[in-house]
Structure 1
Amino acid sequence: MALLHNRVSKAEMKDKLFAETEPRTTFSFYRYLDIAEPVAFRDELYMGLEKLRVFGRIYVAAEGINGQASVPASRLEECRAFLYAIPGLEDLRLNVAVEDDGKSFWVLKIKVRDKIVADGIEDPTFSVNRKGHYVNAKEFNRLTADPNTIVVDMRNHYEYEVGHFEGAIEVPSDTFREQLPMAVDLLKGQEDKNIIMYCTGGIRCEKASAWMLHNGFQNVFHLEGGIIEYANKAKEWGLDNRFRGKNFVFDNRMGERIGGEVIAHCHQCGEPCDTHVNCANDGCHLLFIQCRSCAEKYKGCCSETCRDGASLDTAARMEKPLHFNKSRHRSLGT
């Protein structure tokens, strides 16, 4: 019987990845669809992708599939064909990374979850199938040129901080489940305006658009394929790039450059910087922005406490400056 999960240590998998000579292509994908047997679906997916040397993080639930992965470049089309052959995944859009060093993932993990994106919605009358209208990069630029259009960023605070579309409204939170009711409250009284929602790859803004329609908003749109598809199409079609800064990504890269500007600042010295790191102290591992100078000064740590201590207990964490508060930044696992 085939093994349906990895049994090799993380260190060994990393060594194997860096020993590879063929470049890898990083991509993401999602689709909302009814999956009657998520466990069986997951197992079929694992067996097929493992044979293709795919690494990544994929979630399967009764409501659909959500994944970020990498594959040897020569096998991308073979991977695409395998996914398309699965009932319900025909013509699945693969968002190919804008910037890619091929080292985004080093192991394949496929997990069954209650939902592919946690939303906190308990209303049984809600359906993600009644969603807003897709807009592509060209339509997004046309609609956002209208001053009456409202653009809403449906990503977390630390994602918005390093990059976002011109004029986009931030819904300041670290979780999507908190953002959904906040977005409704934020836009009350503007139910008849054009509202465009966006996120990294499309999965959050698609569900958010459905939630806004469910709550009485009338002209709701969401950016097809998210920031990643927008960046690729804007380049391909020669469009004005309205995105400023860096797109945060949930893999080992932690970001890809979309706009030329650096709009964020180092959390330690305040200099322009948009490089996210995890604190080098394993007892902390806080996600924060750090410039090269501070990385040298603090040895990759978020504070003198972490730099000078072998471990960090809960009490010490609570004494950190406010800009390291866990409500605004969190550890990123890979």
Structure 2
Amino acid sequence: MSILVNRTDKNVLKQRLKEENIKRKTISFYRYVNIPEPNELRNELYKAWSEWNCFGRIYLAKEGINAQMSVPEDNWEAFWNQVNSLPYFKDMLFKHAVDGNGKSFYKLIVKVRDKIVADGIHEENFDPANTGSYLDAKGFNKAIEDENTIVIDMRNHYESEVGRFERAFCPDADTFREELPLVIDYLKGQEDKKVVMYCTGGIRCEKASAYFKHKGFKDVNHLKGGIIQYAQEIKEQNLESKFKGVNFVFDERIGERITEDILSECHQCGKPCDTHVNCKNDDCHLLFIQCEECSDKMNGCCTPECVRIAALPIEEQRELRKGRVKNGPECLSVYKSRLRPNLKEILKNNLSLK
């Protein structure tokens, strides 16, 4: 049986997307539901969505689906009908991107995983279906106006760095798995207080709210549809946005601007900036915040060493990467944001930039 994947070079795919003249919708959706045979469903979805020229990143597991996608408007009806025809996904809630830019993904990826969100939870009596209460945008705004309400950001540090709700506790974590125990520790002794939480599209809060109830917290609430749905509702209902800055998203856009507030700074020079980029050195690809001036000076790279490597012929770059182990002592790259190199200090100490 043929393997249902796209093996075309990513640069070719990105160029095709850039030249594309069709309109697309960027959407996200998820559902915790029992899927006995996720591998079979994976192939069924891949075949149909490929035919309709859909792109995106979709994770399936026995516990459900987590999807972020770009769907051509001309094929939207077929896509919608197909998803809702499946018993697992009937009446699915689709969350639409704020900026309306459909060029968010350049290929279709559908993967089967153990879980749709890696959570590190292995407690046998934990019931993920026993979730907290949903809050819409209006209800969420009202809840966080009460100073006795505890507001929790259930996202990673690089997400909350560029945008967050007022008064939110933002854990210094790189993954959802790391974040859960940090939040539990922060909430310790406050089991009777009202807890409200939020994330990008709602899926992490769905699992977290059930986990916090499992740990003894009584009044647990979460933002329905996450920041994506919140942004739509405040626009439609003319409500004040208590979320400030940029909503980090996991696609080619990297961020959606919700308000004009800039909460972060360029990691290289310290100027106000909230533009996330990936280092242009393919053997690094570090996610960091970089202003236009630093981007021009550093050719889109994070350090002088990456500038040097990225300027080499591609054949030489490939030779340098041969035999290297990701995150090993001989590795040129940092790969993961958790390493968080001090870019300002690196540039300050590099004589070649003087």
TM-score interval, smaller chain: over 0.9
SS in 2 for 1:178: helix
The secondary structure found in structure 2 opposite 1:273 is coil
Distance 1:189 1:288 in 2: 35
> Contact 1:174/1:327 (CA < 8 Å) preserved in 2?
no
Give yes or no for contact 1:157–1:328 (8 Å, CA) kept in 2.
no
- Which of 308, 333, 338 pairs up with 1:326? 338
What is the CA distance between 1:103 and its match in structure 2? 1.8
Alignment of 1:186-197 (within 5 A): 186-197=186-197
Instruction: Tell me whether 1:284 sits opposite 2:284 in the alignment.
Output: yes
Q: In the TM superposition, what is the alpha-carbon distance from 1:142 to its structure 2 partner?
A: 1.1
Q: Which residue of the partner structure matches residue 28 of structure 2?
A: 28
Cα deviations by residue, 1:2-60 (Å, 9 ceiling, x for unpaired): 86322433233223222321121111110000011111111111122122211001000
Describe how 1:160-309 pairs up with structure 2 within 5 A. Answer: 160-309=160-309
Name stretches of at least 5 consecutive residues in structure 2 with no aligned partner. 342-354
Matches within 5 A, 1:82-121: 82-121=82-121
Q: Which runs of 4+ in 1 moved over 6 A?
A: 316-320
Change (3 A) 1:137 1:240: same
For residue 332 of structure 1, what is the aligned residue in structure 2? none
Larger radius of gyration: 2
Q: Is contact 1:156–1:173 with CA below 8 Å preserved after alignment?
A: yes
The residue matched to 2:295 in structure 1 has which SS?
helix
Shift of 1:172: 1.2
Q: C-alpha deviations, 1:223-257, integer Å up to 9, x for none?
A: 10000000001100111110100001100100000
Deviation (angstroms), 1:101: 2.9
Contact 1:174–1:328, Cα closer than 8 Å, also in 2: no
Number of residues of Structure 1 aligned to a counterpart in Structure 2 = 326
Deviates more, 1:75-84 or 1:155-164: 75-84
Question: 1:173–1:328: 8 Å Cα contact kept in structure 2?
Answer: no
Sort the Cα spacing of 1:2 and 1:61 in 2 relative to 1 into closer, same or farther, 3 A: same
Please show how residues 22-101 of structure 1 align to structure 2 within 5 Å: 22-101=22-101
Greater Cα shift, 18-27 or 169-178: 18-27
Letter in 1 for 2:63: E
Percent sequence identity over matched residues? 52
Structure possessing the higher relative contact order (Cα contacts under 8 Å, 6 or more residues apart): 1
Residues 150-174 of structure 1 deviation map (CA, whole Å, 9 limit, x = unaligned): 1100000000000001111111100
Residue in structure 1 matched with residue 147 of structure 2 by the alignment: 147
- Structure 1 residues 2 and 80: CA distance shift in structure 2, 3 A: farther
RMSD, aligned CA: 2.1
Output the CA distance in 2 between the equivalents of 1:178 and 1:78: 39
Once residues 326 and 208 of structure 1 are traced to their aligned partners in structure 2, the CA distance between those partners, rounded to angstroms, is 22
- Give unpaired runs (5+ residues) of structure 1: 330-334
CA separation of 1:327 and 1:173: change in aligned 2, threshold 3 A: farther
